[in-house]
Amino acid sequence: MKLTVLKINTIKPIKNNPFPFFLILVLFFFVFSNGGNAQQIIKAKTDSVPFLTLDQCISYALNNQPVLKETQLNENITNLTNEINLSGRLPQVNLSGNLTHYLQLPTSFANNATNPGGAPVKVTTGVKNTLIPVLSVNQTIFNPSLVLAGRTADLYNKQAIQITDSTKINIISTVSKSFFSLLLTLEQINVLKEDTARLTKNVKDSYHQYIGGIVDETDYESATITLNNSKSQLKQAIESVRPQYAVLKQLMGFAPENEFNVSFDTVKMMQEIAFDTTQLLQYERRIEFQQLYNNRKIQQQLTGYYKRAYEPTVSAFFDYFPELQNNNFGSLFNNIYPYSYIGLSFSMPIFTGLSRVKSVQRSRLQERIIDWEEASLKSLVYAQYTSTLANYKSNLYDLNIMKDNEQMAKRVYKVVALQYSQGIVPYLNVVNAESNLITSEIGYLNALFQVLSSKIDLEKAMGLITSNR
């Protein structure tokens, strides 16, 4: 696809109207200055299937993985929950009211003004229609629950962030290992294709030698058997690519109906194999320990809250009553008889059935559980570290051995194949050399990707994989 570019010698200014010329000139410089971007856009449109590196797969996963999206939403939920719990610090304003219509007014007794020493006189009090709206304002001055909410708000926010960080670390680890597993299969397919091509040539050569009477039929049949075995392995490897892609898509949050290819730099991959195994294990780097320390702080705040459960709750209030009364409902709003007052209220628990004491004891026991969880986690992390370190070292040793084996197997196969073509050795030697070659090539690939995978496990066990990518 060609990119059309305006030529300067085709632009002619229009007399008495310089604006079109200026506009064309701006467009000209825009096309030239954005030529690279235009080519990228054209290429993006023509390349329907993108190539993604490992870093790109991880970045995509960190932006699209549904589980990670859920944890990020939980961060917002936690923040809003803290704001709800702290809303009691602000004034609380409420409006209420009662509209009353007396079917029969209440009766009371009063002294008889005409006969002071006589019996009291029965009289009715009040009016038939009464409307009393109430505007109430309450301001908390001190509340132990609000104190606890204020001290734990940042801890709960940090807890939610740590859950997100832990999810990111797991995503980075699983996506990387799935990516390497897919690459291993793709590289195995390439090796098996080369092996099938070699064996196809061997079958043809052995057939012609059999027809020419140079070798017997068993050489041709042995070559055919070996070729069929190689084709079977190639078919199995090809069929396993699609489910491995599906697993990688699922871990990335990639749409199942969309496609992408993986891209990798072999040289860079070999450079990333190295790891300093002399580094010391630092437990506090692990996100699990950071979560545990934060949980301990939250529990300690709860223990302190239960200890201070005897503290009073103090608040100030203001109530305003614009009372309306009238015997005639239609004239109810003609007169208002307001009154209001302010005051302080407090409440203090005196005896709660020992619930405060028991709550403190329970919270302290929960702190001890966290202490034992730390001891258990430390033992688990150390076991993971020693296991992954041993795997990395052994896999790295296997990689060096398999690399030497592959190089020697290639030389042996060339020599044996040449000797067989000259009639020096039987075909059985070729079969053995071919088998050793394919085994060493596949073994080298397995060792390479096992090293990369075990390095991911080791970095995760040491807390070196972080969410800051």
Q: How far apart are CA 248 and CA 198, in angstroms?
A: 32
Helix H or strand E segment including 262:
strand 261-262
Q: What are phi and psi of 424, to 5 degrees?
A: -85, -40
**Whole-angstrom Cα distance, residue 401 to residue 306?**
63
Q: Which CATH superfamily is domain 59-90+143-312+350-461 in?
A: Outer membrane efflux proteins (OEP) (1.20.1600.10)
| Structure tokens, 47 | 């390349």
Residue 46 is predicted with a pLDDT of 38
Secondary structure of residue 100 in the 3-state scheme: strand
**pLDDT by residue for the chain (469 residues), tens digit each?**
333 233 333 333 333 444 333 333 333 333 334 444 433 433 333 356 789 999 999 999 999 999 999 999 999 999 999 999 999 999 999 999 999 999 988 888 888 777 777 788 888 888 999 999 999 999 999 999 999 999 999 999 999 999 999 999 999 999 999 999 999 999 999 989 988 888 888 888 777 777 877 667 777 788 888 889 889 989 999 999 999 999 999 999 999 999 999 988 877 888 889 999 999 999 999 999 999 999 999 999 999 999 988 899 999 999 999 999 988 988 889 889 999 999 999 999 888 888 889 999 999 999 999 999 999 999 999 999 999 999 999 999 999 999 999 999 999 989 988 887 787 888 788 888 888 888 899 999 999 999 999 999 999 999 999 887 6
Neighbour count for residue 437 (Cβ, 10 Å): 25
Q: Exposure of 458 by Cβ count < 10 A (0-12 exposed, 13-18 middle, 19+ buried)?
A: buried
The pLDDT of residue 2 is 31
Token output for 148:
């606890």
Supply the pLDDT for residue 25: 35
If DSSP codes are grouped into helix, strand and coil, which group holds residue 138?
strand
Residue with tokens 């430390």: 378
Provide the residue type at 102 as one letter. Y
pLDDT for the residue 48: 65
**Residue pair 452/269 in contact by the 8 Å Cβ criterion:** yes
pLDDT at residue 426, rounded to an integer:
81
Name beta bridge partners: 51.
Answer: 261
Q: State the pLDDT at residue 418.
A: 87
* Cα-based distances in Å from 237 to 189, 248, 256, 401: 6, 16, 21, 24
Phi, psi of 458 (to 5 degrees): -65, -45
Give the residue from 469, 433, 428 showing the smallest Cα distance to 176.
469
Instruction: Write the DSSP assignment of 18-62 as a string of letters.
Output: HHHHHHHHHHHHHHHHTHHHHHHHHHHHH--S-EE-HHHHHHHHH
CA atoms within 13 A on the CB side of 40: 4
Query: How are beta strands 51-52 and 261-262 bridged, if at all?
Result: parallel
Give the per-residue pLDDT at 424.
83
